[in-house]
Amino acid sequence: MPVPRARLLTRALAAVLPVALLVPAAPAAGADTSTTAHGPQPVARGYLGAVSSIDADATAIGTAVLRKGGNAVDAAVATAAALGVTDPFSAGIGGGGFFVYYDAKSRTVRTLDGRETAPAAADESLFLENGSPLPFWEAVTSGLSVGVPGTPATWRDALKAWGSRPLAALMRPAERLARSGFTVDETFHRQVASNAERFSAFPASRDLFLPGGAPPEVGSTFTNPELADTYARLAATGTADLYNGEVAADIADTVQDPPVDPDAGLTVRPGKLTVEDLAGYRTAEREPTHVRYRGLDVYGMPAPSSGGLTVGQALNMLETKDLAGMDESAYLHHFLESTRIAFADRNRWIGDPAYSDVPSAELLSQEFADSRACLIDPDSALTSPVAPGDPRSPQPCAQAAPGAPTPYEGEHTTHVTTADKWGNVVAYTLTIEQEGGSGIVVPGRGFLLNNELTDFSFAPSASGVPDPNLPAAGKRPRSSMAPTIVLRHGKPVLAVGSPGGASIITTVLQVLLGRLDRDLTLPEAVAAPRASQRNSPTAQVERAFLEQPATAGLIERGQRFADTPSEIGAVTAVERLRDGRWLAAAEPERRGGGSASVVLPVRLPWDR
């Protein structure tokens, strides 16, 4: 991270300033900082721990756990449980996710794979009908797309391994929130409205989310007593009820016989998920991905997520480029080209490692990165789809086989980042896939089922290119979730993640580059306009990105952007500042703005 002289001076001052000169940030130290009179607060700085999420109630619950002596893992679980209440269209106990944890005592990074699995009855033809792939949206709203949820098991197993509080205690605040309710905001209202048609086809989804036949009004109180009861059952049974009990039986029934209103005129295909599939679910502890970048250690989630491998490969490709010295157009061109190429490799090589040989070490080798970076022309964009390279025998600048385009993935999901007073850090991304998942609420249980299995390729993505992401019994679909923790000399400096389907990877990379190479503060890097190039002829783009002066230089180089700009990602992040404070950052605008909080807020005069 380049350090300008002025900042070196202020850091030196911070080191010698008496504590009395530090300015406690309003509200007073120790108070919750996740909301202000003006709404959620996207940035907080201070001591004793930090939480950042997309939702103020969830962040407040996580911060309260820290304040009462819980650690970062406890806070992440409590925050995630609350998000299942207030952000149920992105994540919840009906879905899965990936948990990355830095353990301050051992100075190691650990990961937990809580990805959903396909039922034992699944095979390559899961999404084929008469030999052809189903239309994507018909697959989404179906029992076929529902994988065995991994989120409750992730909470249970993360707490068992690294937590300090019982699951029951950490689920209680979320249970209370579901019972007493929270205030509906624009984002919640919009998410119901955009799903209203399919929610209205399922009586359980309709009764919950469309009371009186319409989305809940902004400003009204939304309660979910059935979810509160389900949380209480999970808490009492240590999640066993969802894997071996009555909730498991209800999930299997719902998937096998989707409870659709016969008058809705919607064809909802049943799935084959069984109680045995639920009983057999296991999380997996996996070795994190690791790359060195600018003297830092960057850790992420390995396969079946492509997040850590693809972010890591792109960083390796950019390591030899002087991004800090480039003008903004040249820098953004290199960023876009790195992910264009890395996605070609991701699509060819990454899937569930239990089903195909994922050459993870080779994908992250500097030799492979250099052989791919040599394709980047500083003055001209490559034509997509770029062909994948072969990390097992890197050929510099090779461009032989046909390329595989990146299949569509849902753009929802959510991310939680926490840190505690001991220096432990969590980056946890969780999801039910599409906004609203499968659209199917389990009757009487108050939560939506995922549609994660649509993250599988329905058919090989390009003829002649092997696809490691076809469905199979018990297999985990490839993910793009990229919870990331960065260390300097074994200690955390940054933790970051985002929702956004395949754009998660480009978003996390862009935030890392913004912070590590471009001298943006973390809040600036989070807020910066985004683009996402995933080996497609046009990159996904935000309107603000198109409107910035540097974009002209990108277009001159042949970069092309989608005609319809769309919001990309919703980052939450935490940084350990050099003066020892935590900086928690969330979105100022995207998804209605996120919520950052620290246990003991302290502002210094030079904070920008």
The answer to whether residues 557 and 382 touch, using CB atoms and an 8 Å cutoff, is no
Decide whether 185 or 455 has the Cβ nearer to ligand GLY: 455
The answer to whether residues 112 and 411 touch, using CB atoms and an 8 Å cutoff, is no
Residue number of the CB closest to ligand GLY reads 479
Q: Which DSSP state fits 448?
A: B
Rounded to an integer, what distance in angstroms lies between the CA atom of residue 198 and that of residue 577? 46
Active site residues: 413
Tokens of 510: 């862009």
292 is in an annotated binding site: no
Decide whether 175 or 455 has the Cβ nearer to ligand GLY: 455
455 is in an annotated binding site: yes
Q: Which of 6, 145, 208 is nearest to 431 (CA)?
A: 145
Interface with ligand GLY (CB under 6 A) = 409-410, 413, 431, 433, 455, 479-481, 501, 504
Helix (H) or strand (E) holding 293: strand 289-293
Q: How far is the CB of 380 from ligand GLY (least distance, A)?
A: 31
Decide whether 356 or 413 has the Cβ nearer to ligand GLY: 413
The strand pair at 484-488 and 425-431 is best described as: unpaired
Residues sharing a CB contact under 8 Å with residue 163, sequence separation 6 or more, in sequence order:
70, 71, 73, 74, 77, 170
Decide whether 96 or 594 has the Cβ nearer to ligand GLY: 96
Tokens of 294: 């600018």
Helix (H) or strand (E) holding 595: strand 595-601
Write phi, then psi, for 7 (nearest 5 degrees).
-75, -35
The angle formed by the CA atoms of residues 366, 540 and 561, to the nearest 5 degrees, is 100
115 is in an annotated binding site: yes
Q: How far is the CB of 89 from ligand GLY (least distance, A)?
A: 13
The strand pair at 43-53 and 582-586 is best described as: antiparallel
Q: How far is the CB of 409 from ligand GLY (least distance, A)?
A: 5
- Cβ-in-10-Å burial (0-12, 13-18, 19+) of 168 comes to middle
Q: How far is the CB of 337 from ligand GLY (least distance, A)?
A: 22
Decide whether 359 or 410 has the Cβ nearer to ligand GLY: 410
Q: How many residues does the chain have?
A: 608
Q: How far is the CB of 452 from ligand GLY (least distance, A)?
A: 6
Decide whether 337 or 455 has the Cβ nearer to ligand GLY: 455
Tokens of 449: 């089922």
Write phi, then psi, for 452 (nearest 5 degrees).
-60, -25
Q: How far is the CB of 526 from ligand GLY (least distance, A)?
A: 19
Rounded to an integer, what distance in angstroms lies between the CA atom of residue 352 and that of residue 342? 18
Question: 605 in helix, strand or coil?
Answer: coil
Which residues are documented as binding site for L-glutamate?
A: 115, 455, 479-480, 501
